[in-house]
């Protein structure tokens, strides 16, 4: 399913960098990533334990939602860095930890809902050699393919 490649090779091979992760379970299940250069939400449609790439619903993110998502992610990534450094701090998803994070989460609820008519794409996944969670995104990249 996955290998680790250098970022330049990923870009040259048509992969695009996932910028926000909402959900992970044995791989990315939901988040925000470019599809053909434009930010889209993705949500796993079909997942199994096989080595085959997963199928996702994808739909465009508005400019406002993309900005809010990046801000939401930056708060999460800063918390994660503190946590990894050994600071005992509650996860922002606990609520009441970071007022802006909570406000953004509420604003983003309708944007994160998969709309009727969302496209279905196969998400080929690769990892780079950087940190897992970064202010500007994740350590994984997608190359999208049409379904069957």
* Tens-place pLDDT, residues 59-89: 999 999 999 999 999 999 999 999 999 999 9
Instruction: Give burial (CB, 10 Å; 0-12/13-18/19+) of 108.
Output: buried
CA 50 – CA 54 distance, rounded (Å): 9
3-34 pLDDT per residue, tens: 556 778 888 899 999 999 999 988 899 999 99
Whole-model pTM: value is 0.90
pLDDT at 120 over 80: yes
pLDDT score recorded for residue 48 = 65
Most confident of 44-58, 105-119, 132-146: 105-119
- H or E element: which one contains 55? strand 54-60
Q: Count CA atoms closer than 13 A to 92's CA, side-chain side.
A: 21
Range with lowest mean pLDDT among 46-55, 68-77, 102-111: 46-55
CA 82 – CA 96 distance, rounded (Å): 17
Residue 62: C-alpha distances to residues 5, 34, 143 (Å) = 30, 12, 21
pLDDT score recorded for residue 49 = 67
């Amino acid at each position: 399913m996955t290998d680790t490649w250098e970022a330049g090779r990923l870009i040259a091979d048509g992969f695009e960098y996932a910028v926000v992760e909402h959900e992970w379970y044995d791989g990315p299940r939901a988040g925000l990533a470019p599809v053909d250069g434009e930010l889209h939400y993705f949500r796993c449609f079909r997942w199994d334990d096989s080595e085959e790439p997963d199928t996702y619903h994808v739909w465009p993110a508005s400019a406002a939602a993309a900005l809010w998502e990046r801000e939401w992610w930056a708060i999460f990534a800063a918390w994660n860095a503190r946590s990894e450094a050994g600071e005992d701090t509650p996860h922002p998803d606990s609520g009441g930890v970071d007022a802006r994070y909570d406000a953004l989460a509420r604003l983003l609820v309708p944007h994160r809902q998969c709309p009727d008519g969302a496209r279905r794409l196969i998400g080929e996944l690769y990892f780079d050699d950087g940190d897992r969670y970064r202010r500007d995104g994740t350590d994984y990249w997608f190359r999208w393919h049409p379904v069957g």
